[in-house]
Amino acid sequence: MRLRAWASVLIGVGACVLLWGHWWLFSVTAFATVGVFWSLGIISNYGLRAEVHWRDNLRRNMLNEGYSEDDIVERLKNVPATTNPNHVPDWPVMLNMLFSLACCGFLITGVILRLRG
C-alpha cells in the first residue's frame, strides 16, 4: 500500500495520542483507527485477488495458445504486479472514507483540547 493509504491510519494514531485521557473520545477514535486499518486490508485483498485471478487467466490462455512454460514465465516477469482498483467494491472504500474523515475530525478535536489545556 502506498503512503497516502497509511496517512489515514497515522492520522488516527495521532488523534489517539492527543485524546489520551479523554476516555470516551479516545475509545471512539481507537475504533475509527482500527476501522481505517481494517478497511485498507479489505481493499488490498480485493485488488490482489483480482490481480492473481487475472494472472492465472493469462497463464491459462497462453498455455492454450501453445506458449512454452519458459515463455510464459518470462512474459509474466515483465508484467508489473499491482492491485486492480477496478475490482474493489464500493462498500469498503466508503467505510474507509468515513473512518478516515472521523479520524481527521478527532485529530482536530484532540489539537483543540490540547491547546485549551
Domain span holding position 27: 3-116
Q: Where is pLDDT greater, at 73 or 12?
A: 12
Predicted confidence (pLDDT) at residue 1 exceeds the cutoff of 60? no
Model confidence pTM above 0.85: no
Pairwise CA distance, residues 64 & 85, whole Å: 28
Calculate mean pLDDT across residues 5-23.
94
Sign of CA dihedral 75, 80, 81, 83: negative
Instruction: Report the share of the chain in percent with pLDDT over 70.
Output: 97
Which of these ranges, 36-45, 64-73, 83-92, has the smallest mean pLDDT? 83-92
Instruction: Report the share of the chain in percent with pLDDT over 90.
Output: 54
Provide the domain count of the chain: 1
